[in-house]
Amino acid sequence: MMSYDEAMKDLVQAVGGKENIDNVTHCTTRLRFNLKDDQLVDQKKVENNDAVLGTANSGGQYQVIIGTTVEKAYNSIVKIVGVSNNKGNEDKEKDSRNIFSKIIDAIVGSMAPVVPAVIGCSMIKLLLIILPQIGVLSDTGTTYRFLQIIGDGGFYFLPLLVAASASRKFGTNLSLSLAIVAILVHPDLLDIFEEGIAMNIFGIPVTEMGYTYSVIPAIIMVWLMSYIEKGVDKITPTVTKNFLSPLLVLLISGAIALTIVGPAGGWAGEVVASGILTIYESTGWFSVAIIGVFWNVFVMLGMHHVFTPVIITSLASGGFEGMIMVGALAANLAQAGACLAVALRTKNKKMKQTAGVSGASVLIGGITEPALYGVTLPLRRPLIASMIGGGIAGAFAGIMQIVAYSQAAPSLVTTLQYIDGENMLSILWVAITCALSIGITFVLTLILGFKEEANSTGAAEVSAKSKIVSPLKGEVIELSQIKDAVFSEELAGKGIAIIPDSGEIYSPVNAVVTVLPSSKHAIGLKTENGIELLIHVGIDTVELNGEYFENSVNVGDQVKEGDLLLNFNINKLREKGFEISTPIVITNSNEYKTIETKKMGAVQVGEDILHIDK
C-alpha cells in the first residue's frame, strides 16, 4: 500500500499533471479541480487510486471524492502542485465554462467555507428550543440570553462570513470586501430604514431592505468588486494608489451596493426562498418525497451545495426548513440501509469492509460519498433501492410535517435537529422516518440483489515483456533532462524523451487513441494489453491552441504500429521559442514492475526504446 502523499502524487499525475491544474479547492469530502484540459485526465488511473472513492464533473469542475480525509489530501496536493483556492481571477480569459457552470461554481465556492459556522449556530439555536422544554435551562436567565447571542451571531452577520469566503473565491482584497458588505448590516443604516427616512445617493434612491441573514447580495457585491478593483487600479497613479485606490473602491462599490446590488440581490433571495416555500406549500409531502428520491443524484453531481443559501435563508427567516433537509435525511439513511444489506450479502471481503464502513459513515456523520461511490453506484441496484426507500420515507416525513431546525448533515446522530420541542410526537415521526428509510432500502437491496465484479487488482494482464518503439526520428534523452517537473520528476509516468529531427509522429504500438486535446499537442494511446502511453510534443505547446499541429487520427481510432498520428511544424515551434523535446511516458507506470530504457542517443522511427515488464 503506497503512502498518502504518494497516492496524491499519483492523483496529480492522473489528472494531467501539475501543468494541467489551474486551481484546486475542497469541500467536506471532495477535491475540486479546475483543469485546463479535461481530456488529459486518465479516468481509470484516478479511479484505481487507493485514496479515491469516485469522481464527478459538475459546475466546470473535475471533482475527486476522497471522503473524510479530504483536508489531508488537499494539503498534500497543495504541497505538490503549489496552487490553492486563492488563485482568484488571474485566468479568467481562459475560462471556457458556460454561465450556469460559473454561477454554480461561484455559489459553492462562496458558501462551502461558511457551512461549519452555520451548522454550529444552528445547533445552538436548536438547544435553545429543547433545553427549556426539558427543564434544563430557563428561557429568562442570562445563560439563555448568552447562548441566544452565540447562536444568532453567525446568522446576523452571515453577509460578512460570505464576503470573506467570496473574497478568496474571486481574488479580491479581504478587508475591502468585508468593509463593503459591512455597509449592508451597519446599525445606522437599519435605524434609518426603521425611522422611515427617505435616503438617496447622488440622487439615486436607496430601497429600504434588511440585509442581515442574507447571502446573495454579498456574493454578487464581492464579485463586482473584483472588477471595480482592477478598473480603479488602472486609472490611479502609482504615487496615490495607497490611499486613492481604497477610497474609490469603497465609494463606487458602496454606492452600487446600496442602490443596485443590495436591493436586487435581496429581492432575488426572497424570490428563491418564496419559490421553494411555494413548491412546498403547494405540493406538500410530494416535494419532500422528490428530494428523498433525487438528493443523492445532486450529491453525485456535486450540486447539493446549491441548496445551501435556500436552507440558510429559510432557517434565518422562519426558524425552520421543511423540504430539503427533511428529504435529505430520508435519502442519506437510505444509503446506510443499502450499505448494510450489501455488507450482509456480499462475499467479497473488500466490498464487505467498504460497505460496513460506508454505512457507519452515513449513520454517524451523514457523509454519503463513501457509500455512493464505493458501494451503491458501482453496484447500481442498491442505488435504485436507496432512491425508492428515500422517496417513501420522504413522503412519510412530508405527510407528518417534519421540519429541520438546523443544518447539520442528516444522520442518526443529528436527528435531534428535526424534533419539535412543543410537539413531542415529532420524536416518533422522526424515528419512523429513519426506520422506513433504512428498513425499506435494506429489504429492497436484498430482493433486487447486485452483481459484483470479480476481484481485480486493476492492473492489465501483460505478457512477460511488451515493447514500445520510437514514434520519432531524433535523439533519446532521459526524462530528468526535461525542463518541466511533471515529466522530469515522473509525475506523468516513467519513460523517455526524444529531441525530434522532424515533425512526424508515428504510432509506437498497436492501440486505440484515447486522448487528443483540441490543442493537438499531445496524444494518448492504450494497447490491447492495457499499456497507457502519452506522447507530449514539446513543453507548454498547449498555449499554441493547435496552431502548427495537424492530426491524422481522432479519439477512438484503432491504429497500428507505424501509422502516422500527428504532424507539427518543428521549425515554427523553434522560432516561437518552445522547447521541442517530446516526452513519451507510460501513464499507468505503477502497474508494472519495470520500465526499461532500451535506447539512448540517435534513434530512428520503429527502433525499440522501452521494454515493459509485468
Annotated active-site positions, please? 27, 536
Burial (Cβ within 10 Å: 0-12, 13-18, ≥19) of residue 215 = buried
C-alpha cell recorded at residue 8: 496524491
**Residue type for 476, please?**
V
Q: How far is it, in rounded angstroms, from Cα 403 to Cα 512? A: 54
Reduced 3-state DSSP string for 315-356: HHHHCCECCHHHHHHHHHHHHHHHHHHHHHHCCCHHHHHHHH
- Largest Cα–Cα distance in the chain? 89
Q: How far is it, in rounded angstroms, from Cα 612 to Cα 584? A: 13
**Residue type for 432, please?**
I
Please name every residue paired with 498 in a beta bridge, in sequence order, or none if there are none. Answer: 476, 582
DSSP structural state of residue 53: -
**Residue type for 534, please?**
L
Looking up cell 458501494, which residue turns up? 375
How many CB atoms are located within 10 Å of the residue 153 CB? 14
Q: How far is it, in rounded angstroms, from Cα 352 to Cα 340? A: 9
* Backbone dihedral angles phi then psi of residue 561, each to the nearest 5 degrees: -55, 125
DSSP E strands: which ranges in 36-106? 54-58, 61-65
H-run or E-run covering 500: strand 494-500
Name the nearest CA neighbour of 176 among 86, 249, 262, 90.
249
Residues 25 and 84 sit within 8 Å (Cβ to Cβ): yes
How many CB atoms are located within 10 Å of the residue 206 CB? 19
DSSP E strands: which ranges in 199-358? 200-201, 204-205
Q: How far is it, in rounded angstroms, from Cα 38 to Cα 48? A: 18
Burial 62-85 (b: 16+ CB within 10 A, else e): bbbbbbeebeebbebbeebbebeb
